Amino acid sequence: MKVKEIDKILLQKVRDEISHCLEPLGEKHGIELKLGSCNYSFDNFTMKLEGSLVGDDGVVLTKEAVDFKKYAHWHGLVPEDLGKSFVHTNVVYTITGLKTRAKKYPIIIEDNKGRRRAIAAGSAKMLLKQEKTAPASQ
């Protein structure tokens, strides 16, 4: 099939196929590989490839994760909070990193479907504290 023009639908198919190929390659080398942003026009496209080490604890050492370990104290958190989970609105979120240049929403969290968002540091502290004091479910 000869492609006449690059569009969003084609790029989604290509992204899915490339992502599928990146998983075994990353496992082979002990790193996580994933595709980042994509820019395109009608005749070409560029995709960013991101690679990160995986720590001994299984946490992917992205730039944001490394920054969290270095600078968590700026926001009243501790490096050990990286990878901790909490429940908010019946969704489980995990702290995955810190955006050092973000003033309002520096803490990066990810839900169990892999969707990422940023929240305020105060919110993260409150939600982690609630998780620690929540009664055990029976």
- Name the stretches of the chain with pLDDT < 50: 136-138
Give the tens place of pLDDT for each residue, 90-103.
Answer: 999 999 999 999 99
Please give the pLDDT value at position 135. 54
Please give the pLDDT value at position 21. 94
Please give the pLDDT value at position 77. 96
Q: What average pLDDT is seen over the chain?
A: 90
Element (H, E) at 53: strand 45-54
Q: What is the residue extent of each domain of the chain? A: 8-53, 60-133
The alpha carbon of residue 35 and the mean position of all alpha carbons in its chain are separated, in whole angstroms, by 12
CA distances from 53 to 19, 34, 41, 66, 120 (A): 17, 12, 32, 11, 27
CA separation for the pair 34, 60 (Å, rounded): 11
Please give the pLDDT value at position 61. 85
Please give the pLDDT value at position 23. 92
Radius of gyration, CA atoms only, the chain: 18
Contact by Cβ (8 Å): 107, 62: no
Please give the pLDDT value at position 138. 40
CA separation for the pair 52, 132 (Å, rounded): 30
Query: pTM of the prediction?
Result: 0.71
Please give the pLDDT value at position 84. 92
